[in-house]
Amino acid sequence: MNINKQQLADLNKTNLKNHQTHFDFLAQSLSNSGTDVYALLAKLAEFQVAIPSWALGAGGTRFGRFSFSGEPASLEQKIEDIGLIHSLTQTAGAVSLHIPWDVPNDYNAIKELAALHNIKFDAVNSNTFQDQKNQKESYKYGSLSNTSAAVREQAIAHNKEVVEIGNKLGSKALTVWLADGSSFPGQNNFQIALTHTQNSLISIYEDMPADWKLYIEYKPYEPNFYSTVIQDWGTSLMLANGCGERAYTLVDLGHHLPNTNIEQIVSILMLKGKLGGFHFNDSKYGDDDLTVGSIKPYALFLIFNELVYGMQNNPQNPELGWMIDASHNVKDPLEDLIQSLEAIQEAYAKALLIDQNALRAAQEANDVTACQELLQNAYRTDVRPLIREARLRHGGALNPIEAYRALEVRKNLINERGNKTVATGL
Ligand code: AOS
Ligand code: ZN
Ligand code: ZN
Ligand code: ZN
């Protein structure tokens, strides 16, 4: 199934007048207070987020998985799904692949298909958290940190192969997330495990093409419940520094212990020029991988405030790899991703509204009340007309979820692919 611009233009007509009223009002009041609305619209349109190939089907928990009808069965179909989301939102212009789940059969065909849908290949993800068929060594007790040199070698070789595959597609970054750790005190020697991990990462890093980046993800627990080798951003940063200039920390919003100040982590990493990638999701308890903005939208806004500050003030930090990392157990995965993209755009737009100069002045004057007012005035602005206008100007849908339903996208996918489908992935 494909969605064309004419279909969307027709659907948009129903909401157009209403939208115009809201947009004109907001644009006028923002201009009155000195905001360049057109520069803002351009920034929103520019902001593209990669869809992870594993988020297009229904996820599951350790208790079971209930698949969703019409799930993509191949890499081609995954790209088509992202194409649909991108047509509607104009924000999903990239994909993050996972190897070995998404190894292309025909590289040129996949590249052409992605180009047709205006989709770029963002970071590729390696997988040493599962054993693969015909694999000699097992990752049961870890991969890059394993006590066995043979296991480490196998995991290193896999990562190098992932880079090779990504390179043929035009990717420029490798994301490493390790499940390595221990479930019981005494099981691991922390120092040896970290040293092995550092050496393994250096070997992968040194093999990467010169224009590639390495993103190192951290996570405090799960699947191991006593310790993980890369437990926090400090450990990730140490490892990145140990590898070299093109190695960076990747922040996944769900990978923190409760109440961690994620915006401060983001800020400090950008100051050090070491924030490389980002995994968006939301959570109440742990790595819940829920829809972005569904639980803590204010925290997301505060994080975006620091991201915007960093993008404007930290030339030492590279352009970030923006990715969603979510799992959908009870919603249509495509609807869920559309909601996530909307929440990301909303938080970004609100952060762009913060008067940074006034904030700096209030901070310098220790005017705590004014600081809070400045943040919250931006947060309380309904920026949806701006996001809709940015989409409209690029041929997207004024209301992507409404359009998705009006065009009966899921019904069409089920007709094409069948009712009992299971996407490759987790
Ligand atoms: C795992 O918890 C990490 O968030 C990974 O980034 C990601 O979910 C995984 O690579 C997907 O398989
Ligand atoms: Zn992640
Ligand atoms: Zn995760
Ligand atoms: Zn997560």
Nearest to 334 by CA among 227, 236, 216, 417: 417
Q: Is the pLDDT of residue 376 over 70?
A: yes
Peptide bond into 220 cis (omega under 30): no
Task: Give the mean model confidence (pLDDT) for residues 32-58.
Answer: 96
Nearest protein Cα to ligand 1, atom 1 = 177
Q: How far is the CA of 279 from the centre of ligand 2 (A)?
A: 5
pLDDT category of residue 60 using cuts at 50, 70 and 90: confident
Residues 53 and 101: beta-carbon distance below 8 Å: yes
Q: Residue 236 corresponds to which amino acid?
A: S
322: β partners: 278
CB-based neighbours (< 5 A) of ligand 2, an ion: 252, 279, 325
Task: Give the mean model confidence (pLDDT) for residues 2-10.
Answer: 95
Condensed to tens digits (0 to 9), the pLDDT of residues 113-159 reads: 999 999 999 999 999 999 999 999 999 999 999 999 999 999 999 99
pLDDT category of residue 223 using cuts at 50, 70 and 90: very high
Q: How far is the CA of 88 from the centre of ligand 3 (A)?
A: 27
Nearest protein Cα to ligand 1, atom 12 = 426
Atom number, ligand 1, closest to the C-alpha of residue 222: 2
Condensed to tens digits (0 to 9), the pLDDT of residues 377-407 reads: 999 999 999 999 999 999 999 999 999 999 9
Q: How far is the CA of 129 from the centre of ligand 4 (A)?
A: 15
Q: How far is the CA of 28 from the centre of ligand 4 (A)?
A: 39
ipTM reported for the complex, 2 dp? 0.96
Q: Is the pLDDT of residue 339 over 90?
A: yes
Residue the block writes with tokens 């698949």 = 67
CA distance 164 to 171: 10
* Fold of the domain built from segment(s) 47-353: TIM Barrel (3.20.20)
Residues 348 and 303: beta-carbon distance below 8 Å: no
The predicted structure's pLDDT at residue 230: 98
Q: How far is the CA of 254 from the centre of ligand 3 (A)?
A: 6
Atom number, ligand 1, closest to the C-alpha of residue 425: 12
Mutate to test the pocket of ligand 1, among 139, 158, 176, 252 (most ligand atoms within 8 A of CB): 252
The whole-chain average pLDDT of the chain stands at: 97
User: Which residues form ligand 1's pocket by a CB distance below 6 Å?
Assistant: 54, 98, 125, 177, 217, 219, 252, 279, 287, 325, 426
Rg (CA), the chain: 22
Q: Is the pLDDT of residue 425 over 70?
A: no
- 311-344 burial: b if 16+ Cβ within 10 Å, else e: beebeebbebbbbbbbbbbeebbbbbbbbbbbbb
Length of the chain: 426
Q: How far is the CA of 217 from the centre of ligand 2 (A)?
A: 7
Q: How far is the CA of 254 from the centre of ligand 2 (A)?
A: 8
The predicted structure's pLDDT at residue 63: 87
Condensed to tens digits (0 to 9), the pLDDT of residues 69-109 reads: 999 999 999 999 999 999 999 999 999 999 999 999 999 99
Atom number, ligand 1, closest to the C-alpha of residue 217: 6
Nearest protein Cα to ligand 1, atom 3 = 177
Q: Is the pLDDT of residue 426 over 90?
A: no
Q: How far is the CA of 274 from the centre of ligand 3 (A)?
A: 20
Q: How far is CA 77 from CA 104, 181, 291, 330, in A?
A: 12, 35, 22, 21
The predicted structure's pLDDT at residue 40: 98
Mutate to test the pocket of ligand 1, among 177, 251, 288, 323 (most ligand atoms within 8 A of CB): 177
Q: How far is CA 278 from CA 44, 52, 249, in A?
A: 17, 12, 9
